[in-house]
Amino acid sequence: MAGSSQKGKTKLDVSIQQKCLPNLLPLKILSSIATMIASNSIEDLFNMQASCRLFASVCNSDIVYRHALVSVLPIACFLNYSGRPAMTFLRRCAKVQNSAAMLCVGMSHLFWCGHRRGGIRTLTEAAELCDVEACYISVMLLLSLDDKTDDEIHRGFEFFCVVRQSDAVERCREVFTQVFAGPWSDIPPADPEEPVSCRSGSCRTRGSIGDASDLSSVSCVQCLAEYEVRKFLGTYCV
């Protein structure tokens, strides 16, 4: 009798499990739900992932990691997550082109691990995905490093256009001021030469912008980029 009772209970548990709503929904819908949750809260994503095996499997997909809300984490968060599971999460996000995670990884490689070219490559890849902070730091690097190529200079000017069009120059200055005033305060952001000068043949302000100049009437993107790089280098590379 006891064995029969246990067998009946097992069948009932299986029946209930099969009738649970998550098990009735198509995997595509569950994936969409997980992606939406990931894009709003990393904590809620982890809670969903821990709730059952089905959700753990659904959450473990590239599209979920690509849209995870990594941007709420500090850019220097890798310094705090070293050796922890959170680092594995961030690396997985970066691997599937989560631009905010790529920014964190690129900054860590460049300024913490000393992998200059690898770090710049990751940062510019994040910039190409239109991450504004990645665009800004890529401009500072591409237009000031000693072994820059013409293609990198061109990309630097393009990235600065993205930052300006997003009206984010001031915000990016504040973001990286906090970054370099904190955990990386003793690590120089680059080993720079003079920043690239304006190359426009029709520019009327080329070579005439000083550190205290009024930029309100300056329309040349290349001159503005040069000014911003000089300001950045003057702040962090003295």
- Across the chain, which has 238 residues, the per-10-residue mean pLDDT values are 50 47 75 95 93 90 95 76 76 95 89 78 95 95 83 92 94 87 53 58 62 63 83 69
Q: Which of 227, 178, 232 is nearest to 205 (CA)?
A: 227
Here the tokens at position 94 are 């970066």
CA distances from 41 to 7, 54, 145, 169 (A): 41, 19, 37, 27
At 11 the pLDDT is 47
Residue pointed to by tokens 């690129």: 106
CB 101 within 8 A of CB 128: no
At 132 the pLDDT is 96
CA distances from 121 to 89, 138, 195 (A): 20, 9, 19
Cα distance from N-terminal residue to C-terminal residue, the chain? 84
Can you tell me the distance from the alpha carbon of 127 to that of 155, in angstroms, rounded to the nearest whole number?
Answer: 10
At 205 the pLDDT is 65
